[in-house]
Amino acid sequence: MAHFIGIDIGTSGTKTLLVNAQGEVVAAASAEYPAYAPKPLWSEQDPADWWRATCQTVQAVLAKGKVQAADVKGVGLSGQMHGGVFLDAEGQVLRRAILWNDCRTAAECAELTQKVGAKRLIEIAGNPAYAGFTAPKILWVRKNEPAVYEKTRKVVLPKDYIRYRLTAEYATEVSDASGMLLLDVPKRKWSKEILEKLELDESLLGRCYESPEVSGRVTAEAAKATGLKAGTPVVGGGGDQAAGAVGNGIVRQGVISATMGTSGVVFAHSEQVQIDPAGRVHAFCHAVPGKWHVMGVILAAGGSYQWFRNVLGGAEREVAAVSGQDPYVYLNDEAAAAPAGCEGLFWLPYLTGERTPHGDPFARACFVGLTPRHNKGALARAVLEGATYAMRDALEIIKGMKIPVAEIRLSGGGAKSALWRQIQADVYGQEVVTINASEGPAYGVALLAGVGTGNWKTVAEACDAAIAVTGRTAVIPENKKVYDKFYPLYQGLYRSLKDDFRKIAEAVG
């Protein structure tokens, strides 16, 4: 029987899935690796760790699934977006990869914006210059590590380094390339205008494919390292968000995903390229050929609740250690006892600044509206509500762009909690649904591998075969009325505090 492998090069580890021709997960494996912070706000990893994790997890799923290498008909790749891997003429890594959450490039973002023009950059690349994106990293290395830059012959994204190790091909695909700030997103090809203005040669970049296209085949050397068969096709794959959207079935207009992980992502499929002129949401090429997506990113959505558990949930963690339960179960029970709206208590979830809609690295998290009536349960519920208000910010922008929102599919930690599912339905003002797939980007690229090698004709066909709605959460009208009244107050709090956030940042240096 035909099988497909999906590999996701994440920030904390690599996850690999073996999927059969019906889209069922047969085996899964993961391997962790470290990140490094040699200076404040820096974030780096060693690409050799990604390759070791890839070899280890591919071997593991083949063994667990009891599948012969010849039965694997295709491989798909996903990974953390925006990271820069600098390679010399022999394909050797010249320095640690600079990751998506590295914030060293503020000056290079300003330089890039000045050279291309703020308005023109958004028109071409679909996004303003954020510190996490790839192009500013290239400019930083050119300026600060000239010896490295002089030897650099290729700059590739994390998953595309694994592609190189598997196939000896320098290549990427349009969804991940969209996050480099070097792609003409409407035209789905490298932007000669941006490259010329930044004085970068297109030879630095690999060939750009559509996501299900075969981009190369496993070499004999990689076959020995991974257990795969030499000649196995490797498709383009996708950046982790686009790949995760395929894994959630977000491949038709009108179906939206709201993923509440450490960060929160509201993801909408679009038949045509749609770019927010203010750059409040990202416009990227989708992993569906010839389609695009719009995406709002909340930096500390589920991360806010994780912070609350770690800092204020000590009692719940102690009880959980004895009972074997998850501490969130107890926090959710306490939060459920508080009323919708928490009697005017708000949480602004800006623990690490904010992306959508503010684009403000100085924004800070805070509780506003505390009274003696508020207990820990109210604080916990306010955190859940605040993160969901932030997701609604992105959803409202998407609706304002005239992108239809017929169905909202939940995933991530926010989909596992009945309370958080209900809060999301009530804050969004719309029924939300859950699905049978929960494996994320690795699952999405396994489906793309099946499309690229002929198991399914289209990405939509693959998703229809493998993904189904399994649960629905209806709106509670009384709660919706409360949230509709409080949501504008939540929005106003950022505007009131924006200048103070910057002053705080200046005061602490």
Q: Considering only CA atoms, which of 360, 400, 461 is closest in space to residue 268?
A: 400
**Residues 6 or more apart from 499 whose CB is under 8 A from it?**
none
User: What sign results for the dihedral spanned by CA atoms 116, 119, 121, 124?
Assistant: negative
Task: Reply yes or no on whether 184 is catalytic.
Answer: no
Q: Is 440 helix (H, G, I), strand (E, B) or coil?
A: coil
Give Cα separations from 1 to 22, 57, 358, 462 (angstroms).
Answer: 10, 21, 49, 17
CB 9 within 8 A of CB 440: no
CB 105 within 8 A of CB 330: no
Q: Which of 49, 102, 184, 240 is catalytic?
A: 240
301 phi, psi to nearest 5 deg:
-80, -85
Contacts of 11-15 with C-beta under 8 Å, sequence gap 24+, read: 11/35, 11/45, 11/80, 11/99, 11/100, 11/101, 13/53, 14/50, 14/53, 14/54, 14/57, 15/57, 15/439, 15/440, 15/441, 15/442
Indicate the DSSP class of residue 36.
B
The token pair that represents 177 in the structure block: 């390339």
Alpha-carbon gap, residue 16 to 321, rounded angstroms: 30
Query: Could you give the residue numbers annotated as active site?
Result: 240
